[in-house]
Structure 1
Amino acid sequence: MNSGLGTYGDHDAEEATRLISYGFRPRLRPHRDADYAALVRRYDEEPAFEQLVITSATGLGLRVIAVTGQAGTVLGALPGSAFETRLEHYARQARQTHQRESERILHGIAHLAVAARCFPRPEDLADDHYVGRATVSSVDGFVRHVCRELSERAAQAEENSDPMTEARELERAWRAYLRRPEASSTEDGRVAPTTTEAIVGKALRYLVDQGMLTESEDAERRGKVYRTTSRYQLQVRELAAITAYDELLRLGASAERRSTAAVRIAEPDTLH
């Protein structure tokens, strides 16, 4: 079989798809698997093999975000792909509810907030050695700060008879978010799944399962601390739409350190 960059055969196609398959094992890293490491080196050294991997992934409905020795194979789902995880499905899995639209918004804003909390400055996102940190309470507090900012902006706009036109998705989100309690318990002592801290916790655990974050116990804070991986950093760099993420940074992260990071984040109804 010929490509624009060279010739490859069945064995090459098999190796290309095997490299893609490693992308579905997010916690495995090339340095822990000799075959994985060899395929990553081949991708890096052979342009024809790189193109074969990209073409094969596209045929499966996938986009190759990166293949590196540190992160391994990092994939994203193309729109309409069988691998695409839409937020309404994610929210439904997190909790069956009749308020699905509200749940979708809350889960979406939680994921946006985790990304913005972990990478509040453009230099953080550009630094391959940077490790962002987050906790459930810090992300929840971050979103509530944004909610207060948006609430104040909406009130001022109403006083001035000047309807707020920016950040419409966030405006809708803060109303839904502020209606929920931060934390509460069920009768048997479990965390109530409808609280905002429970929703943030679900987002963080999902990212751990996807190899985007690692978690550890923090004795001082009496809770878990989540740290970013290179895999997550690559994903955040490649996410799809700038407006909501940029607005979160401007309204929320600015409380600690001013930023206008030029990063794109996924469509509000889609997770990749």
Structure 2
Amino acid sequence: MARQTAALSHPHWDRRPADPIRYRITARIADWWNGRQDARAGLPAVAPDPDPTEPPHGRSAAFTPHLEKLRRMANDAMHHELVHLQQEVAEPAYQLARAGAQLVEAERALTRAQEALRDLKAPTEDELRARRVGETDTDESVVRKRRLAPYLERRARLEAHRQEAEEALVRLRQTRAELQERIARSQSVAAARARRIHEHSWRRIGSYWQRLVRKHPAGEQLNRTLRPGGPEVPGWIDPAGERVTAGTAAGARPEPT
């Protein structure tokens, strides 16, 4: 109890691990029963081992009706997660596409505002000194302020326009980042759910295969030369297209005996 309390007090251990998907007793009994019945029927067929003393070069995947049933049930459940994911991210994906188009236009608007501000030319010294009708006796500083005022007003408007365009661009970039994060979070959850289904299916396959090997008349040879065929992690989980299959180094799992 003290050890458990100490573990839960760790800063990175603030809750108990989640329970695996419930393996109901009815499903467990069904897997055991099918394993025993298939073993009695001699399923799967085992080819003679030419040299039992040598380790097998590679075990072939074995499929029985019950293994095929478990595999297809897992595939169906994982595909359902994909359907749910597509429905969940449909609206954010649409908003993301719209934000992307708006972002392109906002970048162009900012570029135009910056160019307009850069191309605005200040009045020359001669233009600042130029007097108009009625300004013959006006102080030169007043004349300069009058000639400079339109330029400053124009520059202030362009600067305000540039600032508005920049703020709009920042808002759109923030919106895009939030939508991308929302979609990525949904994808992570869907991937985790699909992997849980995958692992639960292999848990059931392990129970079935264990009973099959123990009751099969050629159980030792069966365990040496064959491995259970089961579901793969769907390719949509990994953008690179890599699949984690039973027996690979990346997705290796303890083989049931």
Relative to the length of structure 1, the TM-score reads: 0.24
Q: Which has the larger radius of gyration?
A: 2
Q: Which has the higher contact order (CA 8 A, sep 6+)?
A: 2
**Larger strand share, 1 or 2:** 1
Relative to the length of structure 2, the TM-score reads: 0.25
**Larger helix share, 1 or 2:** 2
